[in-house]
Amino acid sequence: MASPVGVGLIGAGTISDTYLENLTSFPDTEVLAIGDIVPGAAREKAAKYDVPAAGDVATVLDHPGVEIVVNLTIPAAHAEVATQAIGVGKHVWNEKPLALDRASGERLLRDAEAAGLLVGCAPDTFLGAGLQTACRLIEQGLIGTPLTALVLLQLPGPESWHPNPAFLYAPGAGPLFDLGPYYLTVLVQVFGSVSSVAALGSKARERRVIGSGPKAGEEFDVTVPSHVSALAQFESGQSAQAIFSFDSALPRMLLEVNGTEATMLFPDPNFFDGAIAIRRRGNEDWETVATTTAVSSRGTGVLDMARALREGRPHRAQGAMGYHVLDTMTAIAESVESRAFVDVASSVDKPPLLPDEWDPLAPTI
């Protein structure tokens, strides 16, 4: 049996804990190094999770045992750090979004293909039991033919809990780029590629106040829309409407897919589990058709990528999917500016669902 796939993390911020909890528990991955522009932060995480090497970014890029670099930097650094990893011959997993703009995303994928390396991209929540089960039930015809979808992602904004939230209101973030990928990835899994979009956007206020942590009370600028309303047309002819907002006093997370025979209420796409309910045509009540439990969380896509690397097959949360979602979000942002429909040029194949027997905790390589 081959050895586990060596993994290194770049970025020791808030999200790294969840990745480390999972990647250090999977028998098919081995976390060998953590790097950060603040080396002390990397060393703290390494001590917490018993990772043998830690320091600056070069600690990961130069490590001979690291095969996959997990890039958890801020969105503005995603393309640069991923390109550095590709340049030293390592596969890369990017947190979402893949890049800030189409040109950077295209260049990253092109460089990786030329080097024979894999690129993966969050979100990997669609690999969780909740969304996989929902998509499988749709494929089995439970709601008939899918027709339309409704997305409502309404929150007051992350500044109340995040200790350093300014980047979440900067280019590459906002509710569209920060949380949109979870919902858009699921919609592509159900309907296929997006072909065109139209959108409107707004900002409730130009500055916000940090609500927790050592910077509590400090103000920061809001430089992107904090509310986006979008329409999406898919290549299949089906459509969806969505709201992505950090301006809502009422927190609400909803993803419904309407079919010819029933409407399905999906679990929250930001999580890996949850209940699935349908309302059949002619019925007044919702019927719970499945209740799922997560067997892993963030890092699941890295694991599938690692196994695919050893097995010589495509992985599921591919860079091409990340690019199509980036292309779609960029088109939405352009529509906000132009107030016109914008075509989405890219197209992507839907990845196959995980097999029923898939087990992240079973050694396979």
| Helix, strand, coil abundance in the chain, percent, nearest 5 | 35, 25, 40
Integer Cα distance of 46 and 30 in angstroms: 13
Task: Report CA Rg, the chain.
Answer: 20
- Considering the domain architecture, whether residues 138 and 283 belong to the same structural domain is answered as yes
Integer Cα distance of 306 and 281 in angstroms: 43
Mean pLDDT of the chain: 96
Integer Cα distance of 321 and 351 in angstroms: 9
- Considering the domain architecture, whether residues 27 and 87 belong to the same structural domain is answered as yes
Query: Does the global pTM surpass 0.75?
Result: yes
Torsion of CA 30, 300, 1, 71, to 10 degrees: -40
CB-based contacts of 129: which residues, under 8 Å, 6+ apart? Answer: 272, 273, 292, 293, 294, 295
Structural domain of 114: 5-121
Among candidate residues 292, 311, 346, the one where a domain is terminated? 292
Tell me: the pLDDT tens digits for 243-299?
999 999 999 999 999 999 999 999 999 999 999 999 999 999 999 999 999 999 999
pLDDT at 1 over 90: no
Among candidate residues 79, 94, 121, the one where a domain is terminated? 121
- For the packed helices 16-23 and 39-49, what is the interaxial angle rounded to 10 degrees? 40
CATH number, domain containing residue 216 = 3.30.360.10
pLDDT at 344 over 90: yes
Integer Cα distance of 201 and 180 in angstroms: 14
C-alpha dist (Å) from residue 105 to 111, 123, 350, 351: 10, 16, 19, 19
Amino acid identity for residue 141 in this structure: G
CATH number, domain containing residue 16 = 3.40.50.720
Total tally of structural domains belonging to the chain = 2
Average pLDDT score over residue span 182-196: 98
276 touches 133 (CB < 8 A): yes
The phi, psi pair for 179, rounded to 5°, reads: -110, -20
Closest CA to 256 of 246, 267, 247: 267
Instruction: Classify 78 as helix, strand or coil.
Output: helix
pLDDT of residue 279: 98
pLDDT of residue 172: 86
How much of the chain exceeds pLDDT 90, in percent? Answer: 95
189 touches 137 (CB < 8 A): no
| Phi/psi-derived region of residue 145, left when phi > 0, alpha when psi is between -120 and 50, beta in every other case | beta
* Structural domain contains residue 111: yes
Integer Cα distance of 103 and 265 in angstroms: 36
Tell me: the pLDDT tens digits for 68-117?
999 999 999 999 999 999 999 999 999 999 999 999 999 999 999 999 99
- Considering the domain architecture, whether residues 53 and 134 belong to the same structural domain is answered as no
* Structural domain contains residue 339: no
- Considering the domain architecture, whether residues 111 and 129 belong to the same structural domain is answered as no
Instruction: Classify 74 as helix, strand or coil.
Output: coil
- Considering the domain architecture, whether residues 74 and 206 belong to the same structural domain is answered as no
Average pLDDT score over residue span 164-172: 91
pLDDT of residue 2: 78
* Structural domain contains residue 18: yes
The band of 40, judged by pLDDT with boundaries at 50, 70 and 90, is very high
How much of the chain exceeds pLDDT 70, in percent? Answer: 100
Closest CA to 247 of 360, 151, 153: 153
Integer Cα distance of 127 and 149 in angstroms: 20
pLDDT of residue 321: 98
- Considering the domain architecture, whether residues 135 and 281 belong to the same structural domain is answered as yes
* Structural domain contains residue 298: no
- Considering the domain architecture, whether residues 178 and 103 belong to the same structural domain is answered as no
pLDDT at 236 over 70: yes
* Structural domain contains residue 132: yes
DSSP string, 81-144: HHHHHHHTT-EEEEPSSS-SSHHHHHHHHHHHHHHT--EEES--GGGSHHHHHHHHHHHTTTTS
Tell me: the pLDDT tens digits for 130-162?
999 999 999 999 999 999 999 999 999 999 899
How are strands ordered across the β-sheet holding 5-10? Answer: 53-55, 29-35, 5-10, 68-71, 91-94, 119-121
